[in-house]
Structure 1
């Protein structure tokens, strides 16, 4: 021996076993791939050809089409989110002697009135956002909240910010 190692040959049954395992695993991989192509072709509408390249190409086109549709729907949702806005300037909340209220743009002499110079209302599905900028007066906020609750709204958040002679009320 001259110091070099010689590679021993593996027994014949091991190499045949490995080759068969490889063939079987490769066959399973191809079968799984074929099954997935069949499943993909079942969900892609309008396929004319069923070869793998056509299925992939049409699937890619269909995914791009769906992405565009999702973008359109998201845009419509954004537009619909604030689909309605009402602005009222110089409206009045009229309180009669029994503290029953109604909204009006004019005022009656026998009742007390509450000036609401700016009202902004936004609707989004079941949500309503109300923003009022009005004169600062004692009891003003309580009267406004009571009026909102009469409309059977559930107030989830509100804030009142005094600023000089005015109140910025967000409900």
Structure 2
């Protein structure tokens, strides 16, 4: 006959055995179950902060878009496009560039020719102009006639003499003023090519001259040996 304590111990052992079996089963299942896999990232972010294309297909798509944009830009500047395909566009662009090079070379040639003509005309014009100036100076020197202007205000006189520079007219003018007893207050002399202009402000001395008398006396003395 079994005692009560024996029955209790047997029941406890049975419960412990069942519990151990359950734990072993759970542990086994836990070992068999694989951990959940996290989805792989298709791209990575490099150190420079820009995201790389997600894959080769995306990279190829972006490359084609860039090429298409460049072809659109090229088509916009090429004036004559025979066909719309890319190969024809490249051929038309090459032809247009060669045409521009030819026009540029022609423009440079025309520019050099025009510059040569301008230089030649400048030399010829300068030579003829200098020859004309020399001839004009010679003609003016031989054809300049003496002009004397006299203005009398009381005993003061303003005299202007215009003549050629031949035979020292400046010295003869000063000598004439001295002989006519005219005191010089101011005098000036200037040259324009072969033309001499003398001006003087004088005061009459012992003799008073009227306009005609003084002009005739100066004409006689300054114009001697002219």
Task: Give the TM-score normalised by structure 2.
Answer: 0.35
Structure 1 or 2: more strand by fraction: 1
Structure 1 or 2: more helix by fraction: 2
Q: Could you say which structure has the larger radius of gyration?
A: 2
Task: Give the TM-score normalised by structure 1.
Answer: 0.45
